[in-house]
Amino acid sequence: SSVIGAVIGGALPQQANVISGNNGSGIWMYLSRSNSIINNTIGLNQLENAPLGILTYGIFVDTYNFNNVVESNTISGNANGLFIFRSGSNTVTGNIVGLSGDGMTAIGNTGFGVGLQGGDCDFNRIGTDGDGINDASERNLNAGIGLYNVYANFAFDAAIAGRYIGLGTDGS
């Protein structure tokens, strides 16, 4: 809890983590800000083609977390993918949710892919900012998900945009 400026994973392949097979959340953040979760495999095996699963949330951004970045992760095969609860001004871009790492085979999260809930869940950006710069790489890819692809409740001024929902990386 109360972590500031941490990086889980990284841009280089050797910095990525495989986080799977947990009874709790794969990554849990509480009262934290300005952290980055980048390029990790959460809920799948190292080849990103079979589920090992996490029993609650792949990533749980829990209560008063602000200005965090969740980018370019594969979040699949879990009870739920990414859940942002009572936390605002976070950015979620370029993730593959509910699919294999190549984005072509459904390996769903049984609940929701991305969830936003709580009175302080404002100003989160899920997907592209639509500024015309790198919009395609900011897009999240969601498919193979049980109950909801995107779930939002009491998430005011949140932007959910530029998503591929129910499609492969090639749009098919």
The one-digit pLDDT tens for each residue of the chain (172 residues) are: 689 999 999 999 899 999 999 999 999 999 999 999 999 999 999 999 999 989 999 999 999 999 999 999 999 999 999 999 989 999 998 888 888 998 888 898 888 888 888 878 888 888 877 677 777 777 766 664 444 556 677 676 777 766 555 555 565 5
Q: Which of 89, 93, 90, 87 is nearest to 71 (CA)?
A: 93
Q: Which of 130, 135, 137, 141 is nearest to 165 (CA)?
A: 141
Task: Provide the pLDDT for residue 134.
Answer: 79
What is the pTM assigned to this prediction? 0.88
| Rounded alpha-carbon distances, angstroms, from residue 54 to 26, 130, 136, 161 | 6, 32, 29, 27
What is residue 136's three-state secondary structure?
helix
